[in-house]
Chain A
């Protein structure tokens, strides 16, 4: 079991004009980990990744990749990157572009192998601008694995992909993680983080608000919200039901956040006049809010 540190961010901040994009991030990624950087748009994920790659200089704090600067790690071919969009030459052919990228690295894998692994062996002769969004993402993926990197960094890799290409993409990605590569990917899909990462780092407003296994993160957001119209509801009684975390009212409408919505629902139907009942699961935004609220409480 190796204990090499792949990535280390210490007290990293970045401000753009009046916007504090990243407000003090500490993050250590050990070799072999598959980490999801999860958060809503504007959470600071992309800026964090840009600083980690040396594309953006942090205002404060230190960034180390394999014990050196990001630029050194990249020069050594230790890092493979797949950015969100752009970053390709539209009038080049797929095969030409990959030959070029391979030629820029010290120890590249054969281009045929990269094409094969990215599932685009049949596209070599096609011009980039003739490809679909999902196909372009596969080319970017091939470009990321060509240097045979120890660390792969992906910034929202499945943006703009349909469900099927998303599934195919993660299947290819899975083969890479199975080879023991360290992976960091940004996403705003909780489901992706849950399915593919063994560690989830949750960001909001430029800070890390939670850091744990996917299961831990999921547990804290597994609740459901019940929305029901209950004339003359006994709020104290509802709040004391097992598994109910929070009760809110909007006129006659009651919102119940509960850990076990089935039981609460059974109680509502048997013992109250509740009607127009809706049950919704928490989305990521709710989860992030819930987790950051909990963190603020524990700090207070």
Chain B
């Protein structure tokens, strides 16, 4: 990891309004539409419906933020920047580690903002332990999406990376049940949802609010997704580095 590079990337990403709008503003708007309009006493799977929507939207924000590092990678692959990097002491592995850390850092603000919004305006009441657990588990849920960012970054061209990232974010979120609970959809949708990592990250995060505690099986699936996608990302990275 290289600290200067991380600072450089963060400053550059913060200038990119699209990332901020997509990862923070979108989930807030969706939360307002789908969450704030719910009756106070509605519940879903043992937790209050508004908390359910809050967690889902926070996950949606953090996943799109984590995936946005793909845009950074694609832009840097274009135009020979990685040739320049190869002419510095920076190790290629450090570059990848940096981008994963960038993804995880970018995933934090959407979680914090949506949770704060839910607490203040949605009147979601959780104890401190529950807030801490749900935040931590949700943050872990950004891992597979950091890996997807890596994969997209090494596959896409700079001009196609934004639409690819935007489209896959929305498809994964919608089909993974982050926008609407899959239990309210036809059963075929539940089967489809289980094929997306978002279903499992949502399940893990929401389980932090139930009596039973964090769903370890779902968390394991999330980590499995991370390993598989991370492996694909690393393979793409190796192929790309060999060519540069």
Contact = CB atoms under 8 A, between A and B. Distances in A.
A205 to B, nearest CB: 25
A143 interface: yes
A85 B80 contact: yes
A77 B87 contact: no
Nearest to B242: A57
Secondary structure type dominating chain B contacts: helix
Interface stretch (B4-12, B44-52, B149-157, B166-174): B4-12
B81 A86 contact: yes
Interface stretch (A95-103, A174-182, A215-223, A262-270): A95-103
A89 B90 contact: no
A83 B8 contact: no
Contacts of A91: 12, 15-16, 75
Contact of B2 (A75, A86, A90, A104): A104
A91 B83 CA distance: 17
A86 B4 contact: no
Contact of B3 (A88, A101, A103): A103
A55 B79 contact: no
B187 interface: no
Give the size range of A's interface with the partner: 20 to 34
Contacts of B88: 74, 101, 104-105, 147
Nearest to A153: B87
A92 interface: yes
A226 interface: no
A89 B73 CA distance: 11
A75 B88 CA distance: 6
Given A53-B87, A74-B87, A104-B4, A92 B12 contact: yes
Interface string A131-175: 000000000000100010000000000000000000000000000
Interface in A73-122: 74-77, 79, 81, 83, 85-92, 96-97, 99-106
B122 to A, nearest CB: 36
A289 B80 CA distance: 34
Nearest to A144: B87
Interface in B85-101: 85-90
A277 to B, nearest CB: 49
Contact of B86 (A55, A76, A88, A97): A55
Contacts of A88: 79, 81, 84
A83 B84 CA distance: 8
B215 interface: no
Contacts of A55: 83, 86-87, 244
26 contacts: A55-B86, A55-B244, A74-B87, A74-B88, A76-B89, A77-B89, A81-B87, A83-B83, A83-B87, A86-B79, A86-B83, A87-B79, A88-B79, A89-B12, A89-B76, A91-B15, A92-B8, A96-B8, A99-B4, A99-B8, A100-B5, A101-B88, A102-B4, A104-B4, A104-B89, A105-B88
